Amino acid sequence: MSEGKVSCLFIDDEFIESADGLVKGVIPAEKVSDVPLLKPDQPWEDGWYDRYGNSNVIYDEEEELFKAWYVVRIALSSARAEEAEALAYATSKDGIHWEKPILNIIEDNGSKENNLVMPFFRWATGHGVIKDPIEADPSKRYKMLFLFQCEHMQFAGIVQPVCVAYSADGINWETPRAWVNPIIAEGTDTHLTSHWDSKLHRYVVYLRGRPNVRIICMSESDDYLNWTPREIIVQPDDEDPPQDHEFYGMTSMEYGDHRIGFMSIFHTLNENWISSNGIEDWMPDWMNRMDIQLTYSKDGRTWHRAGNREPILECGPWGSFDSGSVYASHSPIKVGDEIWLYHVGNTDLHGEEPRNGESLPSGLNLAKIKKDRLVCLKTEKKGVLTTTSLKMPQKKMGLPLGIDPKTLSINADARGGSVRLEIIDPFGRVLPGYSVDDCVPFTGDDTEHQVQWTSDPQAQGTKSSSDELESKMVSQSRGILKARIYLENAKLFALYVNG
């Protein structure tokens, strides 16, 4: 939020006093392509595959380069889940067109001519990579958490302990020389998404519950080595339908005053039965699919669901490469005013065969979220939003409550409908010149539409002495202005007000 500007988002209820005839919702992110931007296309990738989609994408501002680390797999036997995993690396100048450099680091199939940065290990999964913004040691600028299980640990099943590795460049990785791995002995089974939390001043990683319960937990650390016992932060409740009780994993990003979580929901019922018998034609379309919902936190520890639990990222239609599952990359990136949500899509239904027999390679894709379009208030009929008091600096004199109507704007989609506003004074009355009838209806789709008024309130007639006294009382009050917004078949994402 810039100085002198109030950005009223509706992720939570901070700016909502009442919302009559309106519901919260989410508009799914727009995918930039119907095919993967990054997929197996090199000779050395023959035999590699990726099923569960652990990928990491950052924009390196120092090098002005997008960087991706993604998991690839090879089968060790025909048995279920008997596979080994490695980590590959790619770069892009524009985030759309990707290159796979031949790194000559890791030998695979008798050659080092590949883009691997970590070798194949049995169940060495969950690789989560970050570039640490506060690390003083150049050799540890890049950090990775990963799960590892050796042959003698097969008794633990798919619940592996968490290990750490460091790198100076994100390409050449080393595990600590001292025997510190594993750093979290109580294992998990998910993408290990960690970050430096600037509010908590600690590192945070998201884990599953013990022993492998699909809920979202978090652990904290001061040094990336010693981690607190995990605490539950998001778990299913009575508002979740029975098929939405498997929270597969979560990544997050800072966004204004919030931390926004992108949580994978595995839609399933009777999972053990399906594992033994497969998915049948009569089952609903959602069976064993994976999509992404939003969560949010103001302090990094207390989390809430967002957007009426509607998906921010959906699977593609049957027949597409991402018809079975979409997995959010770690972590979403702010590019200009947009959120770029990289993700891996595939036809796989969590280990089950594709619904319609599709045989398409999985791969990395990109979906974009326009400025502040995370959660909206919407109606297909008519609704009215009354905001809470807007705490705006009063720097401009001679305008009611410091509001300049030329700088009042909305982020809305009103195609096929309309959005109109009015401004309410501290006594609950509509300010002259700012009534709903004075507002020019907005009927388009814009991330920052300047509200238009049909009249100039300053040019209206003279006031009585009592009016001027009341106006003086109002003008000297702070944080007591409200907006009343009328929606008809429209979606409202944000209100912006300059003081």
Residues 6+ apart with CB under 8 A from 359: 347
Confidence of residue 4 (pLDDT cuts 50, 70, 90): low
- Tell me: the pLDDT tens digits for 122-157? 778 899 999 999 999 999 999 999 988 766 655 555
Quote the CA–CA distance of 11 and 307 in Å, as a whole number: 7
pLDDT given at position 401: 47
* Phi, psi values for residue 492, rounded to 5°: -120, 120
Residue predicted with more confidence, 406 or 124: 124
Check: CB of residue 403 under 8 Å from CB of residue 497.
yes
| Mean pLDDT of the region 414-427 | 91
Q: Per-residue pLDDT for 465 more than 50?
A: no
Most confident of 77-91, 237-251, 271-285: 237-251
* Phi, psi values for residue 339, rounded to 5°: -105, 125
- Tell me: the pLDDT tens digits for 43-85? 898 877 765 578 999 999 999 999 999 999 888 777 766 778 8
pLDDT given at position 186: 85
pLDDT given at position 478: 45
Q: How many CA atoms lie within 13 A of 109 on its CB side?
A: 11
Residue predicted with more confidence, 226 or 348: 226
- Tell me: the pLDDT tens digits for 81-103? 677 889 999 999 999 999 999 99
Q: Per-residue pLDDT for 400 more than 50?
A: no
Where is 473: in which H helix or E strand?
A: helix 465-475
Burial class (CB in 10 A: 0-12, 13-18, 19+), 287: buried
Quote the CA–CA distance of 31 and 467 in Å, as a whole number: 55
Quote the CA–CA distance of 230 and 246 in Å, as a whole number: 18
The tokens 């995990």 sit on which residue?
A: 230
Rounded to two decimals, what is the model's pTM? 0.92
Measure CA of the first residue to CA of the last residue in the chain; give whole Å: 12
Check: CB of residue 149 under 8 Å from CB of residue 142.
no
- Selection from 360, 322, 324 nearest residue 341 by Cα: 322
Tokens standing for 406?
């030329």
- Tell me: the pLDDT tens digits for 233-243? 999 999 999 99
The tokens 């008997």 sit on which residue?
A: 82
For residue 211, cis peptide bond before it (omega within 30 degrees of 0): yes
pLDDT given at position 160: 80
pLDDT given at position 471: 54
- Selection from 376, 369, 326 nearest residue 346 by Cα: 326
